[in-house]
Amino acid sequence: MSDVSVRPASGVAFDAEAEVLIIGAGAAGLVAALAAREAGAEPVVMERDAVPRGSTALSAGLVPAAGTRWQRAANIDDDPNRFAADILRKTKGRADRTVLALATQGAADALHWLADRHGLPFLFANDVVYPGHSVRRMHGLPTRSGQELVDRLRAAAEAAEVPILTEAAARTLFLAEDGRTIAGVGLVRPDGTEERIACRALVLACNGYGGNRELVRRHIPELADALWFGHDGNRGEAVLWGEALGGELRHLSGHQGHGNVAHPHGVLITWTTIMLGGIQINAEGERFSDETDGYSEQAARVLAQPGGFAWTVFDERIAQAARAFADYRAAEAAGAILRADTLEALEVLLRLPPGRLAATLAACRGRDRFGRDWSATPSLHPPYCAVRVTGALFHTQGGLAIDAACRVLRRGGGVFRNLFAAGGAAVGVSGPEASGYLSGNGLLTAIVLGRAAGRAAALRARGMGTDERSERGT
Ligand SMILES: Cc1cc2nc3c(=O)[nH]c(=O)nc-3n(C[C@H](O)[C@H](O)[C@H](O)COP(=O)(O)OP(=O)(O)OC[C@H]3O[C@@H](n4cnc5c(N)ncnc54)[C@H](O)[C@@H]3O)c2cc1C
């Protein structure tokens, strides 16, 4: 990405001015725009694509939140401290504490606000406990698709009369003489025309660097050749601008992988297939892990198997539950799901030695040698199902370090005066390892940090959000 740069603002003539400029129209950027508007500012969103989608549109759109009214209606006892404790357990205590507090404390309120103020009809996903969550706390829209989420957020932004400049790729940040204030952004149109927009506050909501092979190779070498399953627009500008500005970057090796992508069909197979009792075996018919640790760390484990693939084996009971997900139905329609009435027939389909699968399943009892607890899990019954899967990179979780107002921190102390980061552009709550990713950590920080950043950027733009002490870097 050599065309991304930071340049001095002195002498630069701007074509237009925005109070709050937001780069990226995924969940983080659109939520930031709604919050900035509500706080009294005039936000402008710039988006490289012709239609806002981002990784948000590729996601299942499931957002974790603790203490929501939907949980209460389902008699789920939960609160932000419990949520934070789950994240800390998954990250072995290495989650970024500032973002953790913001995200877990603000999630329920953010979803209530999106539902009540902007009409997003969230429902409680009460069907499964996702790995690492001690209670059910996922919320999604009726179709359980991120496409619906981004479409509804865009409609809400349009209803709030937020201008969204599409086909506008941000390329240059113009830095004021103080070295701590962004004066504006240079963007490029598809025909090569350049425009410059001045701003009073800038929110980076352009996600992480999963679509930038060079950065992936540098920071996540174990997935350097993995399937990239996120949006191609995740090109790492936040990291590159951060490096050029002298911003503090954290946990760049952190990411969400996924060890259950149908291969070669390239369709996500819901982890419900595992959590309800399925297993993963390699080409020799052997299990190689406790699959319930989480789908994120499972990506590298699957890629490390002979041929870089695994079989996910489950049964019709589990398939029925998985059909709640559009992706699973698409995988079935594409012929990715193999079915057999007996284990012997399935072994033939998977080209396994006779008796190997039966032996592997027979060992799934009590607490097995990988530590998986089978005491409350029904065993598999015919008809059986299997799908060939590989490991993929979904999104990166490292990024710009921020303070409690989502202002980007400078390396060596202090903050940038009017630069904010949210969603995948900011450091997440997953720590530096794939195993730290708890389901939903992606949209959690997109929505909650997006709201906080939009509000803080609006206050800054209106001259009401200054904290001189932290600006001086004390
Ligand atoms: C297959 C898949 C499933 C997932 N499922 C879930 C899930 O169920 N729950 C969950 O919490 N997370 C999930 N995630 C992760 C989640 O999608 C992301 O963490 C989240 O969408 C990030 O939101 P964002 O707004 O930061 O980024 P994005 O949605 O990627 O939006 C960033 C936008 O910025 C634009 N952009 C980038 N650079 C520029 C530039 N220079 N100029 C202008 N525009 C630019 C991009 O085009 C893009 O539209 C999933 C991810 C994938 C890939």
Question: What helix, strand, coil percent values describe the chain, rounded to 5?
Answer: 35, 25, 40
Could you tell me if 328 and 348 lie in one domain? yes
The DSSP secondary structure of 200-230, one letter per residue, reads EEEEE----STT-HHHHHHH-GGGTTSEE-S
275-321 pLDDT, tens per residue? 999 999 999 999 999 999 989 999 999 999 999 999 999 999 999 99
- Taking each continuous run of H as one helix and of E as one strand, the counts in the chain are 16, 21
Tokens representing residue 253 in the block:
């090796």
**How many angstroms from the chain centroid is the CA of residue 423?**
8
Mean pLDDT of the 380-394 span? 97
Residue 470: pLDDT above 70?
A: no
CATH code at position 335: 3.90.700.10
Could you tell me if 33 and 150 lie in one domain? yes
398-447 pLDDT, tens per residue? 999 999 999 999 999 999 999 999 999 999 999 999 999 999 999 999 99
Could you tell me if 233 and 316 lie in one domain? no
Probe residue for ligand 1, chosen from 206, 295, 328 as the CB with the greatest number of ligand atoms within 8 Å: 206
Could you tell me if 265 and 151 lie in one domain? no
Domain C-terminal end among 329, 358, 393: 393
Is the CB of 52 inside a 6 Å radius of any atom of ligand 1?
yes
Could you tell me if 387 and 401 lie in one domain? no
Domain C-terminal end among 326, 361, 393: 393
CATH code at position 25: 3.50.50.60
pLDDT at 2: 55
Name which residue sits closest to atom 19 of ligand 1, judged by CA. 442
CA distance 114 to 210: 28
CA distance 92 to 438: 12
pLDDT at 465: 62
Cβ burial of 413 (10 Å; 0-12, 13-18, 19+) is exposed
227-266 pLDDT, tens per residue? 999 999 999 999 999 999 999 999 999 999 999 999 999 9
Residue 98: pLDDT above 80?
A: yes
The residue segments making up the domain with residue 407 are 5-254+397-471
Is the CB of 62 inside a 6 Å radius of any atom of ligand 1?
yes
CA distance 386 to 418: 52
Could you tell me if 75 and 124 lie in one domain? yes
Could you tell me if 389 and 402 lie in one domain? no
Helix or strand run (H / E) with residue 37: helix 27-38
Could you tell me if 345 and 412 lie in one domain? no
Residue 211: pLDDT above 90?
A: yes
Could you tell me if 223 and 304 lie in one domain? no
The DSSP secondary structure of 85-149, one letter per residue, reads HHHHHHTTT-S-HHHHHHHHHHHHHHHHHHHHHH----EE--S-PPTT-SS--EEE-TT--HHHH
Could you tell me if 19 and 147 lie in one domain? yes
Could you tell me if 313 and 434 lie in one domain? no
pLDDT at 466: 52
CA distance 138 to 106: 15
Q: Could you tell me the distance, in angstroms and rounded to a whole number, from the CA of residue 57 to the centre of ligand 1?
A: 7
Could you tell me if 319 and 432 lie in one domain? no
Domain C-terminal end among 369, 393, 417: 393
Domain count, the chain: 2
Q: Could you tell me the distance, in angstroms and rounded to a whole number, from the CA of residue 149 to the centre of ligand 1?
A: 11
